[in-house]
Structure 1
């Protein structure tokens, strides 16, 4: 009696096409998990990490004691 596995013969399950498909599914799953985790994290703004050279050194407000 020949062993068939669950649905397909073993020769089909060990073929190159099934290995490529399994690799694609694995990469796709990891990518979607990474996107889901990134969506749960707070947003990161690049401007917060870069120095602010365009900020004025003194206030031009009508309230001179206000924040710079």
Structure 2
């Protein structure tokens, strides 16, 4: 037979267990995981940033190969 535990509603663990080392490690892991999840969610909401057009792209040539000196690169 299961004993009937009487106590305040909402308490699942005794208070002494909340002050143990493993519970502090678990709480730290949950906190870091929550912050990382929130940062990823915010980054998905924000619009994508594009490089300015005045920055040279890696696939773009440094100088033109056209017969026209002021032509596109």
In structure 1, distance between residues paired with 2:42 and 2:54: 25
Aligned residue pairs total 57
**Matched residue, 1:51:** 55
RMSD of the TM alignment (CA)?
Answer: 3.0
Structure showing the higher helix proportion among its residues: 1
* Runs of 5+ unmatched residues, structure 1: 61-67
In structure 2, distance between residues paired with 1:10 and 1:25: 19
* Runs of 5+ unmatched residues, structure 2: 1-6
TM-score when normalising by structure 1: 0.62
User: Taking structure 1 as reference, are residues 49 and 34 closer, same or farther at Cα in structure 2, changes over 3 Å only?
Assistant: farther
TM-score when normalising by structure 2: 0.59
> SS of 2:13's equivalent?
coil
User: Taking structure 1 as reference, are residues 59 and 20 closer, same or farther at Cα in structure 2, changes over 3 Å only?
Assistant: same
Deviation at 1:54, TM superposition (A): 3.0
